[in-house]
Structure 1
Amino acid sequence: MIRGHRGRGQLGLIFLATQFFQIGVDNIPPVTLVTLGVNVCLFMVPAAPLLQTCISVEQTCWNGDWRRLFFSPVHHIDDWHLYFNMASLLWKGVKLEPRLGSNFFAYLLAVFSLLTGVMYLLLEMILSVITNDPHYNMECAVGFSGVLFALKVLRNHYHPGGMTNIVGVAVSNRYASWVELVVIHLIFPGTSFVGHLAGILVGLLYTIGPLKIIMKKIEGIVTAEYPGRRTQFFNSSGYSGRRDGPQAHHQNDHPYTEILSEEEQYDAAIRASLNDRGGSTDRSFNFPGELTAEEIRRLRLQRFT
């Protein structure tokens, strides 16, 4: 999120287009692609002027203009603001959407976008009360970066032992979001520190708080209404897709998915397949009949040796 107002240019859009084509449209998951397209379109043709889309306590809560909760994340001040946010979205979407599945990723983006705005308003009100400074109630912010900070927390949660390079310094993923929060504010004073902090807090509500549980329960209630619901699969190119029918298995429903890595899930699925069907992952093998326990044991040993 960024406060204030700047003029528009085109150089940021050129840089964004260059990065877009470098990654390749076929390598960008669908929800990420649509979200990027919506942000670009609303930058070119805004739904309303920035002063009518930015979020603030005064305009949103006191004046009751709640539509700003939906408008503020997808509007940007200038082309560079758009470029940095969308470049970050591309990277996070390519990493997270195939892992979570496109439907759930879209659900996540919608919830994060709304809750980041709510958290921003709450923090601004608290600061106004603590400091006795009404200026906090009038600060108006726009941009997708609050949501991106929430996604960063989620991404780092999946890779707690990794490292992130921030201005040339390697930082543990566990603390990367907090370090980047401070660094960005120091380098770009015009950015909204409170907006970025709101995103981090929403991300933490999901990774270590109750938000994930609540979202999963709501998802379960909705999908329970459709016995033939569409479920997740991953094709050979790594993109997420959907498959219908009784033979489809939802990744999020599988007991391995919450505790194992993708490679470990794959190995576990192979072992389960050998137990259940006596089959093999190598298509060149054909088994004429039922396998004995000794044959299954031998195939397992071959798989890991």
Structure 2
Amino acid sequence: MANFGEGRRGTGGMLPLLALSAVAEYCRLPWKPPVTAGLLAANTLVYLRPAFIDQVIPHISEVWFNPHLIFKHKDLKRFFLSAFYHLNEPHLVYNMMSLLWKGIKLETSMGSSEFASMVFALLGMSQGVTLLLAKSLLVFFDYDRAYYNEYAVGFSGVLFALKVVLNAQAEDYTSVYGILVPTKYAAWAELILVQMFVPRASFLGHLGGILAGILYMKLKGSHSGSDPVTMAVRGVTRMVTWPLRFLNSMVRSRRRRISGRGRVGRSQTGIAGPGIWRCQSCTYDNSGWQSECEMCGSGRGRGNGWSVSQRPTQSSSNDLPLDELRRRRVERFS
């Protein structure tokens, strides 16, 4: 998160760099994580505000994360939407580059449904923890100027939470701005260093993200099986994608029916399936679309093969010898 006071400045050409990095990263992946791509697109579109959504999404002045206003007006719009707004291009690009790396790693290992539910949960938890921290500082220490009345936006609270989840089981060391620290504590080191180098960053928002990540891991460890949010996301995903999956299954079924893939050997009744003819030389079931046997290459001439309405005839004396049949099969598939 970043605090109010760092308004939009010149672009400096950083967005093309973000786009190039995202495209290059996705091109090298065998599977493209869709949720990560959607989050990148959502944050970028909110920042750019193209004409087709400019009248739909609220202005940044309406969604600043401000604990005082959220408590006073019970403003859920500020609570949830503030994470998707950024003050300037460096703020957006830095957060999205971090999301690109963390999102790909986590979504690839967890799956899209579980990753989406985790991001949704961490968004609510990080914002909620930040809100409670600000309120606690006001109630117990009468400390309101720096945190309770501050204005902040940005996705970094969620990113700090994702960093905690990603590194929770790590046993090695990593470099944070040139300082070697245990990987599982990298988020804490980054919290301090970011505040040193960028004093206007939202310390409370970043701290809320770290605590949300720790809380999420504790809850995850105490609960076996899929959490309710994951199950809900999977249900919605299956419902939305059902027409596509149905059409895909129809296409695959049609392709299998036309391709002529069959089986070798006679059934109990000696009759092939609908639209299928059986080669008398090798007993391979072929599609009715095929003019020659896919197994041995024998042509579908008169007397060779029968359809569903025909019974097999007794093997004639001029059937192919076994050696000739084997030779044809080898030639067919070599």
TM over 0.5: yes
Partner of 2:62: 52
Distance 2:234 2:34 in 1: 24
Tell me: CA distance 1:87–1:182, structure 2 relative to 1, closer, same or farther (3 Å).
Answer: same
Distance 2:164 2:225 in 1: 17
List aligned pairs for 1:1-305, cutoff 5 A. Answer: 1-4=1-4, 5-10=6-11, 11-25=13-27, 27=29, 28-45=32-49, 47-135=57-145, 136-158=147-169, 160-209=170-219, 213=223, 216-219=226-229, 222=232
Tell me: CA distance 1:220–1:110, structure 2 relative to 1, closer, same or farther (3 Å).
Answer: closer
Instruction: Give the TM-score of the pair, scaled to structure 1.
Output: 0.69
How far is 1:109 from its partner?
0.9
Structure with greater helix percent: 1
| Cα contact 1:12–1:82 (8 A) shared by 2 | no
Distance 1:77 1:222 in 2: 33
Distance 2:26 2:231 in 1: 36
Amino acid paired to 1:130: F
- The SS at the match of 1:216 is coil
Q: Which has the larger radius of gyration?
A: 2
How far is 1:208 from its partner?
2.4
Tell which deviates more after alignment, 44-53 or 79-88.
44-53
1:108-166: per-residue Cα shift (whole Å, max 9, x none)?
A: 111111221111111111112233132232112110000000000000013x2122211
- The SS at the match of 1:7 is coil
- The SS at the match of 1:189 is coil
Amino acid paired to 1:99: S
- The SS at the match of 2:40 is helix
How far is 1:93 from its partner?
1.0
Which of structures 1 and 2 has the larger relative contact order (alpha carbons within 8 angstroms, sep 6+)? 1
Unaligned stretches of 5+ residues in structure 1:
231-243, 245-305
1:246-290: per-residue Cα shift (whole Å, max 9, x none)?
A: xxxxxxxxxxxxxxxxxxxxxxxxxxxxxxxxxxxxxxxxxxxxx
Amino acid paired to 2:17: F
Distance 1:192 1:154 in 2: 21
Tell me: CA distance 1:163–1:129, structure 2 relative to 1, closer, same or farther (3 Å).
Answer: same
How far is 1:223 from its partner?
8.7
| Cα contact 1:109–1:147 (8 A) shared by 2 | yes
Unaligned stretches of 5+ residues in structure 2:
241-248, 250-334
Distance 1:94 1:220 in 2: 18
How far is 1:87 from its partner?
0.1
Identity of aligned residues (%): 33
Distance 2:14 2:213 in 1: 28
| Cα contact 1:206–1:212 (8 A) shared by 2 | no
Tell which deviates more after alignment, 37-46 or 11-20.
11-20
| Cα contact 2:113–2:233 (8 A) shared by 1 | no
Distance 2:215 2:132 in 1: 15
| Cα contact 1:70–1:113 (8 A) shared by 2 | yes
- The SS at the match of 1:137 is coil
Instruction: Give the TM-score of the pair, scaled to structure 2.
Output: 0.63
Distance 1:220 1:95 in 2: 18
Tell me: CA distance 1:132–1:105, structure 2 relative to 1, closer, same or farther (3 Å).
Answer: same
Partner of 2:243: none
Instruction: Show structure 1 runs of 4+ deviating over 3 A.
Output: 209-212, 214-217, 219-226
Amino acid paired to 1:183: L
How far is 1:225 from its partner?
8.0
How far is 1:20 from its partner?
1.6
Tell which deviates more after alignment, 57-66 or 69-78.
57-66
Amino acid paired to 1:155: L
| Cα contact 1:56–1:138 (8 A) shared by 2 | yes
